[in-house]
Structure 1
Amino acid sequence: MVYNWETCSTDIKYFIYKLHKEIIEIINDDFIGFYIHGSLAMGGFNPNSSDIDVLVITNKSLTVVTKRKLAKFFLTYSNSPFPIEISFINKEQLIDWQHPCPFDFHYSEFWRERYENDLSKNTYKFLNRDSNTDTDLAAHITITNHRGICVDGKPIEEVFPLIPRSDYLSSILSDFQECLKNIEADPIYSTLNLIRVFWYLKEGVISSKQEAGKWGLLTLPKEMSSTVKKVVDSYANDKDTYDFDRNELLLLRDYILDNVQKLLN
């Protein structure tokens, strides 16, 4: 079963409300807003596999002390039981939009080992005063503008800039290229992301992976429908129920790639 913010269980909502409460306590009065994007906002959130995607906006840049407190908290809280992907952006970084967008702090499970090492060894390789940039933020903010949930703080339209279509495309096409390469290793994630990029270019729809899969079932050629159905069923049930033949995945990949290239040209 998959859910959205309205239909998710009380356990998921409690997890998010506690996440919000702990963040507020760490950053004190520097808070502007806490916003959900991704599968929980758009639908398609699978409690067994989906990340909880969050953007937090602050008044000013985070100090190194605050970043280290946040890292310590997320190392404990993320994956207990839901993995968190979260970025902290201060308002100045949003006023004059640039792509890739700068941010103060980011946590996902990809960063776990790096933060554990910095904290345990008292080093500052990753947890320091630097401000970095992230190509993905153009997509995250676009989704927040169109489908996001304001859990607390200023309304979305008062906080986030409108992202140029070219920057959103740059963001999603970066992931698109990775999915082209990884479709055999990760057929579920890769296929659904390829389809939703195709759908956006074809009809301008910003969709969840689940929505893209359903669109693909209705739209893609019949010879690919069995592949797409297996992908959609596997995603919804979080089970590796089906085997995927290399040829069927490459047929689907090449069809989408050809159409995306035509739409881009």
Structure 2
Amino acid sequence: MSDHLDTCQPATYEFVHSLMDEIKYILVDNLIGLYLHGSLAMGGFNPANSDIDLLGVTKVPLANEDALKLKKLLLKCSNQPFPIEISFLNKKQLREWQHPSHFDFHFSEFWRSYFENQSQTGAEVYLYDGDRKDKDLAAHITITNYRGICLLGNPIIDVFPRIPREHYISSILGDFQSCLQNIEQDPVYCTLNLLRVYRYFKEHEISSKLEGGEWGLSHLPNEYKIIIRKVISHYQNHKYNEPFEAHELLSIKDYVKEKVEEIVGYDFQE
């Protein structure tokens, strides 16, 4: 596996390692390890629009006071300058794997306002009350197993279970369905995600969004290459960006949807 973190821009490297040190300071001996997945681990990271995707694993469930410290840290660090998406699971949740998976704590920019409101009201620190589960963890852990980076702690192979393929498929198809519905509202993420899911079913390859787009350029018919190039250009933050046309987005969406439906054997409802 190529360690893309070692070849990223210095600001990104320093941000990740500073965050790593802060988390280690909070969790001390309870932390089994911290693991990088997503675009930074797979070589498709764009400092202008990519998240830092992380998984943290602990020996025992997080104490509420530690979760509160993590919340404060992430509210302070995320988007300064890179957005952070991170989930913490404990050893028992991984050992007794189920899908959707339980987790102890989650932060992303999507939940920033929720956490900020908690801080104002003094409410419970956890993301959800009661039984906390996340269907996306099957995909995150699978990607970590195949292409993740251990930032600190025990090796990936010793920490994470092998996720059943049907759980991984369930996870990525949920996101695939969402992208079918939202491609006009979020054309870059949705188009690239549709392509990487299609590639997985076609070739059983786990890809970053950028790799999915590059694969689409070489495997989809010529009529879709203009829109794929536009999407990749936007994703890579090139200065010249052509506008998206609804008809070309809907055309590639319909093409990929039909191909994936042929493979999985059922129709997606939009």
TM-score class, shorter-chain normalisation, is over 0.9
CA distance in 2, matches of 1:241, 1:125: 41
Contact kept in structure 2, 1:24 and 1:31, CA below 8 Å = yes
What CA deviation, in whole Å up to 9, does each residue of 1:209-258 have, x standing for no partner?
A: 11111110000011111111111111112657111111111110001000
CA distance in 1, matches of 2:121, 2:185: 35
Instruction: Please state how far the C-alpha of 1:6 moved relative to its aligned partner.
Output: 2.9
SS in 1 for 2:4: coil
TM-score normalised by L of structure 1: 0.96
* Residue matched to 1:66: 66
* Residue matched to 1:160: 160
Instruction: Please state how far the C-alpha of 1:28 moved relative to its aligned partner.
Output: 1.8
CA distance in 2, matches of 1:6, 1:15: 13
Instruction: Please state how far the C-alpha of 1:129 moved relative to its aligned partner.
Output: 7.5
Mapping of residues 51-130 of structure 1, within 5 Å: 51-124=51-124, 126=126, 130=130
Mapping of residues 5-44 of structure 1, within 5 Å: 5-44=5-44
Return the letter of the residue paired with 1:144: T
* Residue matched to 1:183: 183
Instruction: Please state how far the C-alpha of 1:131 moved relative to its aligned partner.
Output: 4.9
Residues 111 and 240 of structure 1: is their aligned pair in 2 closer, same or farther, counting only changes over 3 Å? farther
Instruction: Please state how far the C-alpha of 1:55 moved relative to its aligned partner.
Output: 0.3
CA distance in 1, matches of 2:148, 2:203: 20
Contact kept in structure 1, 2:94 and 2:161, CA below 8 Å = yes
Mapping of residues 220-231 of structure 1, within 5 Å: 220-231=220-231
Contact kept in structure 2, 1:63 and 1:129, CA below 8 Å = no
What CA deviation, in whole Å up to 9, does each residue of 1:167-224 have, x standing for no partner?
A: 0000000000111011111111110000000000010000001111111000001111
Residues 125 and 240 of structure 1: is their aligned pair in 2 closer, same or farther, counting only changes over 3 Å? farther
Contact kept in structure 2, 1:102 and 1:133, CA below 8 Å = yes
Contact kept in structure 2, 1:216 and 1:228, CA below 8 Å = yes
CA distance in 2, matches of 1:205, 1:136: 18
TM-score normalised by L of structure 2: 0.94
CA distance in 2, matches of 1:72, 1:219: 45
SS in 2 for 1:6: helix
CA distance in 1, matches of 2:149, 2:138: 17
CA distance in 2, matches of 1:31, 1:245: 48
* Residue matched to 2:204: 204
Bigger CA drift: 245-254 or 119-128? Answer: 119-128
Bigger CA drift: 56-65 or 229-238? Answer: 229-238
Return the letter of the residue paired with 2:211: E
Instruction: Please state how far the C-alpha of 1:128 moved relative to its aligned partner.
Output: 7.5
Gaps spanning 5+ residues in structure 1: where? none
What CA deviation, in whole Å up to 9, does each residue of 1:98-142 have, x standing for no partner?
A: 000110000001111111111221122745874511000000000
CA distance in 2, matches of 1:145, 1:123: 35
Mapping of residues 245-264 of structure 1, within 5 Å: 245-264=245-264
Residues 127 and 170 of structure 1: is their aligned pair in 2 closer, same or farther, counting only changes over 3 Å? closer
Contact kept in structure 2, 1:35 and 1:149, CA below 8 Å = yes
Residues 100 and 117 of structure 1: is their aligned pair in 2 closer, same or farther, counting only changes over 3 Å? same
CA distance in 1, matches of 2:194, 2:91: 32
Residues 181 and 203 of structure 1: is their aligned pair in 2 closer, same or farther, counting only changes over 3 Å? same
Residues 240 and 54 of structure 1: is their aligned pair in 2 closer, same or farther, counting only changes over 3 Å? farther
Return the letter of the residue paired with 1:234: H
